[in-house]
Structures are given as C-alpha cells and as structure tokens.
Amino acid sequence: MLTTLAWLLMSPDAVARDAEVVVVAAHLPSLNDDSARKLSADLTATVDGLENLEAVSAGELRSRIAGREALVVEGVFLSPGRRALEEGRVLYDRGEFESAVPVLQGAADALRAGLAGAGDSKDLIDTLLLLGLANTALGEDDAVADAFSQVIVLEPQRQLDRFNYAPKIVNAFNTLRDSVLAGPRASLTISSPDGARLFVDGRPVDRTERSTTISDLLPGKHYVLIQAEDGRRSFDVVDLSTAATVRTDLDKRRIAPTAEGADGRSQQTAQLYRSLGEYADTALILLAGETAPGTVGVQLYEPRTGNLSRLEEVEVANRDALAALQSGVRRLDAYVSDGSLKVDFLQLGAAPLDVNANPLLLSLLLDPEPIVDTVTTTRTPWYIWAGAGTLAVGGAAGAALLLSDGPGSSSTGTVVVNLPE
C-alpha cells in the first residue's frame, strides 16, 4: 500500500509547478539603456508576484544564451528563408517544379534580406542553385542563367561536382561561369569605424584600415554588412558596374531593419522570439511593448510548442507605460496552468512590436559580455527524484525526503537515499 507521503507526491497538486518566463524589458520607443534595465527589473518583480509564473531575469537570460547570441541573431534574419527553402526542396524532390519555383524565389528574396544581419550566404546560394535546377526541368533557360549567374557573382570560386549534379547541369554552369569570369571586374571601397567587422555577400572581409577596397568583384548586386563591436550596424545593397564607395557612421544598434505595417512587425516579432526561444531554455517568454500609439500589449510565447497566448492590450494613462504593462502582465497569469499555456487562451499572431525598440534585448544579443567559466555543484531537487513514476517512499527514505530542501534551494552536496528494490 502506498504511504500517505507517496500519494501526496504523486497527486497533480504535488507536481504542479510555476512556469518560468523570461522577462527582458519591453519594446518602447522612449527607452534608453538605463530605463530599459529599470523597467525589466520592475516587470520581473511583477511576474514573481503572480501565482502561476516565475520570472527569469534579463541577467539570467544573458548567462543562458552566452556564446550563442550570434545564433539567435542569425535565426532572426535567416530562418524565414530557410523554412521556405526546405518547402521548395520538398516540392522539387516530388517533381512539382512549377510549384517549387515561386517558393524558391520567395526563399531567395528572404535570404537576400537576411544578409542585412547574418554573415552567411550559404543558404542563399543553395536556394539559387535549386532554383536553377527547377527551371532547368521546366525548360526555362533564361531563368536558369539568371539563377546561376547570381551564384557566380556571390561566389566566383563555386564549382558543381558531378556526383551531386547531372553532367548537363555541370557543363551548363561551367560554361556560364567561364563567360562571367572572363568579363570585367568592379571595385568596392568601404569606409567604417575602427574595430568594425565587414561582410560582403555573407563572407567576412579582412581589414587593416578605416577604408578597405575590394577590387576583384564581379559586376552585379553585392550585400555589405558593417557591424561594430557594440552591435551597431549598417547594411547596403550595392549594384556594381565599375566602382562604388560605401561610407557609414554606424549610428545605432538594430536587430533587423524595422518592418513596415502592423502585419510586418507582427511577423518580425514572432521571428525574433522564436529564435530566442530556441536557446533561452525556458517554458515561456514575455513579449511586451508598444503595439500602437498610446497602447501597450503583453503576450506569452511558448518555445516548446511555438504557441502564443492571447494578446492583452492596455491604453497608457498619464504616460505611465509601466503601470499599463503591469496591468496586462497580471492578466496573463490566468492563461497558464501547470507550466504551460492553456489552449483556450491561444492566438495565431504575435504583438506588432518594433524589434529595435528594446535596448536591453539589443544589448544582450548584439553586445554580449565575455564568457566567464564557472563551476557549480547543485543537489538534485527533491521534486525530481522523489516524484518519478509510481515511486512509493516510506520509512527512512520518507524521512530523508521530508528533511531535504524544497524547490529553490541552492545548497550543494549529495543526498543518498536507500530505496527498496
């Protein structure tokens, strides 16, 4: 017979838990670095006062994503294009070439835009090659030449191997490549502050002076990303014919060029937090900020399922955005049960936020602190090892359980409990 203690441990109330929710300030045009930190602390305290939520502070988030900030940023810029590429690849593999072409064209457009913040053009080149193959199957010679020419401009050294590509494709690509490489070259001069990193067509460029000239580029569109050490960045698309110059002062940080319109901002917000959720190691993330002039909104994102809670919008009275945000956050508590979002309180779209209006989040992602190696030893919480399966605990084991620390303990050491075989 199970002991009273065992029934207690196995009951739903015993295993019910608060849901961790990452809190990183809010997206408000009026915020600066100092006010963003204060707002984040105030919202963290508000969340910790709720029944079903437990806040993860911005400082804790910084440690969780340490060393992976660039992956989060890359996901914001490249994930939409990557998803479209995979959809196009599936259609191509099925032989649905007419359906694959527009999907792959959309993927290429998204990945070009993604070069505004990601120094990696591999996915774009893969998309253009697949687009060329799909058009080959349709007999669209001009479209094939256009796609392959873009590959050659982006990566002049690219060659197709005969193991993965049919001889007809390899020969056509090589003939076009030889023709393009035999033509004239263009030069690009880039002026940028000391310490800035340069990327041209998704590849890093070595620089030793404030002004750098690349003299062997092929005529066509080239993508120039300049990023300072603190996350300020500038992006230009240069259509080269002979020579051009790019100059920038890198006046502000930005995670991506801010989308236009509510729908665009909503999609961009969803992508930002979807990418952050892949590395934040948390049940939920709080989305908060200005959704329209004079109105703020709050919402929960669940990385495990990809679900979004209902958006709670509150009018800002007396210019007190914090009070309005706190009011909305308190309503969100009812949307969570046993660590997850309730299905009755879900919606499809994300809040239409300005992704560049959260200075604290921009700092975490674009100006990360150096990683410091630390070693910690923690004891396994009692509610993990004691609540497993149909474990019946009694006698000395039960006593050890009751004497052990509960959730939230930070003590170290080892507890040994002898369980009956």
Query: How many other C-beta atoms can be found within 10 angstroms of the C-beta atom of residue 336?
Result: 23
In the chain, the amino acid numbered 181 is L
Write down the CATH number for the domain with range 69-181.
Answer: 1.25.40
Q: Per-residue confidence of the chain (421 residues) as pLDDT tens digits?
A: 444 444 444 444 444 568 899 999 999 998 998 999 999 999 999 999 999 999 999 999 999 999 898 889 888 888 889 999 999 999 999 999 999 999 999 999 999 888 877 778 899 999 999 999 999 999 999 999 999 999 998 888 888 888 888 898 999 999 999 998 888 888 888 887 777 888 888 888 887 677 888 888 888 888 888 887 777 777 788 888 877 777 666 667 777 778 889 999 999 999 999 999 999 999 999 999 999 999 999 999 999 999 999 999 999 988 899 999 999 999 999 999 988 999 999 999 999 999 999 999 998 988 777 655 444 444 444 344 344 443 334 444 443 433 344 444 333 333 333 333 3
Q: Report the distance separating Cα 73 and Cα 68, nearest Å.
A: 9
Q: Report the distance separating Cα 132 and Cα 56, nearest Å.
A: 47
Q: Report the distance separating Cα 333 and Cα 21, nearest Å.
A: 11
Q: Report the distance separating Cα 406 and Cα 46, nearest Å.
A: 23
Task: Judge whether 336 and 17 are in contact, CB under 8 Å.
Answer: no
* Phi and psi at residue 200, to the nearest 5°: -120, 120
Outline where 158-309 has alpha helix (H). 167-181, 261-277
93-128, pLDDT tens digit by residue? 999 999 999 999 999 999 988 887 777 889 999 999
What residues does CATH 2.60.40.10 cover in the chain? Answer: 186-247
Q: Report the distance separating Cα 362 and Cα 346, nearest Å.
A: 27
* Phi and psi at residue 320, to the nearest 5°: -100, 85
What residues does CATH 1.25.40 cover in the chain? Answer: 69-181
Task: Judge whether 88 and 126 are in contact, CB under 8 Å.
Answer: no
Task: Judge whether 405 and 384 are in contact, CB under 8 Å.
Answer: no
Superfamily of domain 186-247: Immunoglobulins (2.60.40.10)
Cα–Cα separations (whole angstroms), residue 380 to 391, 406, 414: 16, 10, 8
| pLDDT given for residue 77 in this prediction | 84
Give this prediction's pTM: 0.70
Task: Judge whether 172 and 164 are in contact, CB under 8 Å.
Answer: no
Residue 377 CB contacts under 8 Å (≥ 6 apart), including other chains: 412, 413
| Strand ranges for 37-85 from DSSP E | 53-56
In the chain, the amino acid numbered 65 is I
| pLDDT given for residue 372 in this prediction | 53
| pLDDT given for residue 121 in this prediction | 87
Task: Judge whether 153 and 141 are in contact, CB under 8 Å.
Answer: no
Task: Judge whether 328 and 313 are in contact, CB under 8 Å.
Answer: yes
In the beta sheet, which residues pair with residue 296?
A: 290, 314
Determine the longest span between alpha carbons in the chain, in angstroms: 87
226 membership: H or E segment, kind and range: strand 220-227
The candidate with the shortest Cα–Cα distance to 247, out of 238, 257, 260, 258, is 238
Query: How many other C-beta atoms can be found within 10 angstroms of the C-beta atom of residue 225?
Result: 23
Q: Report the distance separating Cα 205 and Cα 413, nearest Å.
A: 50
| pLDDT given for residue 253 in this prediction | 76
CATH 2.60.120 correct for 19-67+258-366 = no
Query: How many other C-beta atoms can be found within 10 angstroms of the C-beta atom of residue 332?
Result: 25
